[in-house]
Amino acid sequence: MGDCRRVGVAVDFSPCSRKALEWAVNNIVRKGDHLILVTVQHEGNYEKGEAQLWGATGSPLIPLIEFSEPHTMKKYGVNLDPETLDIVATASKQKEITVLLKVFWGDAREKLCESIDNIPLECLVIGNRGLGKIKRAIMGSVSNYVVNNATCPVTVVKIHD
């Protein structure tokens, strides 16, 4: 990928991750960059063994033209929403960037940190649902874990301003 920047955005196709994606497109991504959407699926959320085939390293980098196809995403157990697709398709044309998707299976906190070195990424943007203190204590905060364990700069975009 030469000297282009690789900007990662953690996506789970929720309103929170769409906001993080929009923020990254509007504030970080520039012409010639590679925008890499990183999604982590729970193990068992797949068909025909894709997670077993790519479980250790994650899927290959999937180009926008391929991950726009529903049958390709079904193979990986990913349910891509139309809003996210629209954001990246528009950004690809307007900003002249390459958009790729990487699918991992397992614990989101660990796999997002692994993706930084595996891809590798210059930076990662992640959404924060703004869980209260009790829910965060019980469930754990993915964004908090990634901020504290990542090997690149991480930007957390909160859903509520």
Query: Is 6-158 assigned to CATH 3.40.50.620?
Result: yes
If 0-12 CB within 10 Å is exposed, 13-18 middle and 19+ buried, where does residue 108 land? buried
Kindly report the average pLDDT of the chain as a whole number.
86
Q: How far apart are CA 129 and CA 108, in angstroms?
A: 14
Is the pLDDT at 145 greater than 80? The verdict is yes
Report DSSP state, residue 138: H
Is the pLDDT at 45 greater than 50? The verdict is no
Whether 124 contacts 155, CB under 8 Å: yes
Tell me, what amino acid is at 2? Answer: G
